[in-house]
Amino acid sequence: MNYILASASPRRKELLGMFIRDFTVIPANSDETFNLSEPVENELMRVTELKAFSVAENNHNAVIIAADTIVLKDGIVYGKPRDENDAFNTLRNLKGGVHKVMTGVCVISPSVCFKFIDETSVTFRDYDDGIIRWYLLTGEPFDRAGAYAIQGYGCMLVSKIDGDYYNVMGLPVARLMYELNKADLFHFC
């Protein structure tokens, strides 16, 4: 099978590569802007589907895998920070509380199309502004939903997770591989 990951994320590439050795990366060329007046789950799926269909239109015989990840706390969506100040404020708003990491996944193949949202709850420590400034200096918070990377220095911000660790990285691989297998698009044996 010809698999295509519709994402420029090096983390998603690494995670998908744990199970599928041979795939192509074609970053989606679609608008990722959320309409904040719509329900978060609907917008997350809309953006994810746009990514998948933008790559599928020129790759009709492939299995297209697209994903989009957001962080949600108190009704506020935290995507990738725009700049250092935005990252600082995001990390300040997330500290000492619980937030959700939600990843929408859309798979399109010649025979089937399916989609789902995976959700993980993450509890952050009650760190101070000095920790935030130090973390910003690592450069890690940028280009990541919620301004942190759980698999890197950002692990020190986390006190607990409930759900799929890999979902927090940007791709819920266990559920994805189960769903691909169920749709006869991937076989474990």
Q: What is the pTM of this model?
A: 0.93
Q: Are strands 63-73 and 3-5 parallel, antiparallel or unpaired?
A: parallel
Catalytic residue among 22, 68, 83, 184: 68
In this prediction, residue 185 has a pLDDT band, given cuts at 50, 70 and 90, of: very high
**What pLDDT score was predicted for residue 18?**
95
Cβ atoms of 52 and 29 closer than 8 Å: no
**What pLDDT score was predicted for residue 93?**
98
pLDDT per residue as tens digits for the range 1-52: 899 999 999 999 999 999 999 999 999 988 778 888 899 999 999 999 999 9
End-to-end CA distance of the chain: 15
166: tokens are: 């890999």
**What pLDDT score was predicted for residue 59?**
95
Higher-confidence residue: 135 or 8?
135
Q: Which amino acid is located at 99 in the chain?
A: H
Here the contacts of 177-184 (C-beta below 8 Å, separation 24 or greater) are 177/19, 179/105, 179/107, 179/114, 179/116, 180/63, 180/107, 183/107, 183/109, 183/111, 183/112, 183/114, 184/111, 184/112
Cα separation, 93 vs 79, in Å, equals 13
CATH number listed for the domain at residues 3-182: 3.90.950.10
Sequence length of the chain is 189
The upper half-sphere exposure of residue 100, i.e. CA atoms within 13 Å in the direction of its Cβ, equals: 14
**What pLDDT score was predicted for residue 7?**
93
In this prediction, residue 76 has a pLDDT band, given cuts at 50, 70 and 90, of: very high
Residue 43 has φ and ψ, to the nearest 5°, of: -70, -40
189, pLDDT greater than 80: no
Is 68 tagged catalytic? yes
